Amino acid sequence: MTVTARPDTRFTYREVALHDRLREVRREVGTKTALLHGDRRITYAELDAATDRLAGALARRGVAPGDRVTIFMPNSIEFVLAFYATLKAGGVVNPINAQSKEREVRFQIEDSRAKAVLVHEALWPVIQPIAHELAGARLVVSTGADATGATRFDDLVAEGGSAPGVQVSMDDLAALPYTSGTTGFPKGVMLTHRNLTANQQQFFAAVPVRRDDVFLNVLPFFHIYALNLLMSGAISLGATQIAMSRFDMVEYLTLLEKHRATVCFIVPPIVLGLAANPEVDKHDLSSVRFFFSGAAPLAPEPARRLIARVGRPIIQGYGLTETSPVTHANPVDAAILESIGPAITGTEDRIVDLDTGTRDLGAGEVGELAVRGPQVMRGYWNGTGAEQPVTDDTAAVLRDGWLFTGDVGRKDANGYVFIVDRKKEFIKYKGFGVGPAEVEAVLCEHPAVADAGVIGKPDEEAGEIPKAFVQLRAGATATADELIAFVKSRIADYKRVREVEFIEKVPRTASGKILRRELLEKERAKTSG
């Protein structure tokens, strides 16, 4: 069955849920390798059968349609099994960043009201101390044999039986990833089956991926970029993917050469490494058709050096968790490195004035980027378990069907969009959003800290690093290293403060809002001086 997404997007896509698409692909290429991770390999037939068994086991233990199932795992075969089994059981996938610490994990599990938590043995030490506190999570499952008190993942997969045969609507929730949103605190993004499948098909129409491709997937599956476009995208295509749990340059290049990878989806720090690392010259990269960079702004010069070095094009794209994620991508044969490209098929975009967001601007004028299409989220999760979005946060970004991205840019006469700044306050560290308010809250837990303001400081390798301006309590003392270590022990590593500067008073408005613009200007003045 086909449907037209919306009259104003002029895009027709197949209405098929991702887990149903897996079943189709199994019938088409069942014996083909779907995923290879380390020395483990799984075919499409094995993947479909294993996720049927796991879905049945979850259903028998109380996971019902609409229930959230938290997946706390690094890239692995188990992650893929957990993703598709959750969808087959009618559940909602709630992925957690594998770098998260106890407080972050507890918050997301409790806020999402997860019924089950599926955790990898490597991350069990994070879950174990708080497992007894997760009252809403009736089922805690771990890979490996040493997770005392948890059900064993392999035992569930090995159970006999079939998937529960749940019928889902395309407008039912499928995923609930968390993002910093506009306030800086983690916020659940409500993505439906329609959002995910439509965006996959939009992406396939914009970027020339195909069934005979070999994906080299190192980007984290918990991130929407990899979750929907790479991990499950490769499966929807019937392609083969090579998964890596973490990035290592030598391993990455070795796997690329060994398996003759054809498409490489990366982020700007990897572009920088590939452009400069002498290890690249020791490997044959001729199988690669193109590189695709997303999740953070791409610096043109490292990209040009990589193109000159390997003789392969680099495509830059753009998206948000709220858009499943992609909205823009450069054509392979007409890419502009400084641009995120034109809107992809079925997506409308506008540049609107920064003050009111109601006036469309012309070519070359700078304003906020707004987008509309079938991939746009339902709204932000309200934390109650009901599937109605929280009103205020959602209304701040969704207006009359348009998502206001918070990114500032301009569009040329050919429709190519150039991002020039961000209206949002969150920091982009290596493609991951860091909410300054969350980091500030942790800093202010330190007994010596009276107040703190966090900004993103430009960094060639990471894009931005979190820098804190700290106001100490009267008579208190603390060193920068002490505060950096304090934050590092409490939140995910990518969020931690990289620099601390002590100031007399953190600037705030009369209503108490931090004047980050003043902190940014202070940092710029220091750099320019």
Q: Is residue 442 part of a domain?
A: yes
Residue 160 belongs to a domain: no
Phi, psi of 316, rounded to the nearest 5 degrees: -105, 135
Global confidence as pTM: 0.84
Task: Decide: 454 and 436 in contact? Cβ < 8 Å.
Answer: yes
Confirm whether 521 is domain-assigned.
yes
How is residue 450 written in tokens?
């009276």
- Count of domains observed in the chain: 1
The β-bridge partners of 371 are 349, 403
Please indicate, yes or no, if residue 20 is contained in any of the structural domains: no
> Pick from 239, 236, 253: which is nearest to 202 by CA?
236
Amino acid at 506: V
Asked whether residue 420 is domain-assigned, the answer is no
Parent domain of 452: 427-528
**Which structure tokens are listed for 261?**
């990878």
Per-residue CA distances from 231 to 132, 225, 348, 425 (Å):
32, 9, 26, 29
Nearest 10 degrees: Cα torsion 201, 335, 258, 279: -140
Residue 269, sorted as left (phi over 0), alpha (psi -120 to 50) or beta, turns out to be alpha
Q: Does the residue 147 lie in any domain?
A: no
| 452 burial level (CB within 10 Å; 0-12, 13-18, 19+) | buried
Select from 173, 121, 154 the least CA-distant residue to 53: 154
Q: Is residue 463 part of a domain?
A: yes
Which distant-in-sequence residues (6+ apart) come within 8 Å of 265 by Cβ?
Answer: 215, 217, 219, 225, 226, 229, 230, 291, 292, 294
Pair 477, 502: CB distance under 8 Å: no
- Residue 4 CA, chain-centre distance (Å), reads 27
CATH code, domain carrying 499 = 3.30.300.30
Q: What is the pLDDT along the chain (529 residues), one digit of tens a residue?
A: 333 333 345 678 999 999 999 999 999 999 999 999 999 999 999 999 999 999 999 999 999 999 999 999 999 999 999 999 999 999 999 999 998 999 999 999 999 999 999 999 999 999 999 888 886 788 898 998 777 889 999 999 999 788 898 999 999 999 999 986 444 568 999 999 999 999 999 999 999 999 999 999 999 999 999 999 999 999 999 999 999 999 999 999 999 999 999 999 998 888 888 988 999 999 999 999 999 998 877 778 888 889 999 999 999 999 999 999 999 999 999 999 989 999 999 999 999 998 889 999 999 998 999 999 999 999 999 988 778 888 888 998 999 999 999 888 899 999 999 987 666 677 888 878 787 878 888 898 899 998 889 999 998 888 899 999 999 988 999 999 999 999 999 999 999 999 999 999 988 765 456 788 789 888 888 876 5
CA dihedral 51, 55, 58, 62 (to 10 degrees): 170
Q: Is residue 470 part of a domain?
A: yes
